[in-house]
Amino acid sequence: MTGNVTIADCGDSALVAKAVGLDAEPAWRLVHALADALNALQLTGVHDVVPTYDALLVEFDCAATDHATVRRVLAHEAARLGPHPAPTTPPRRFVVPVVYGGEYGPDLPEVAAQLGLSEGEIIALHSGTDLTVRCLGAPAGAPMTDGPPFPKPVPRLASPRTRVDAGSVAVAGRQAVICPMPSPGGWPLLGRTPVRALDLHSDPITAYRPGDTFRFRPIEPQQWDEYADLALGDCAESPDLVVGHG
Query: Per residue in 96-142, pLDDT tens?
Result: 999 999 999 999 999 999 999 999 999 999 999 999 999 998 888 89
pLDDT tops 70 at residue 244: no
pLDDT confidence tier of residue 228, bands split at 50, 70 and 90: very high
pLDDT tens figures, 68-98: 999 999 999 999 998 889 877 789 999 999 9
pLDDT confidence tier of residue 29, bands split at 50, 70 and 90: very high
Buried b (16+ CB within 10 A) or exposed e, 2-28: ebbbebeeeeebbbbbbbeebeeebbb
Mean pLDDT of the chain: 92
> Residue range 40-62: average pLDDT?
95
Q: Is the peptide bond before 51 cis (omega within 30 degrees of 0)?
A: no
Per-residue pLDDT at 242 = 35
pLDDT tens figures, 12-26: 999 999 999 999 999
Half-sphere exposure of residue 144: CA atoms within 13 angstroms, side-chain side: 17
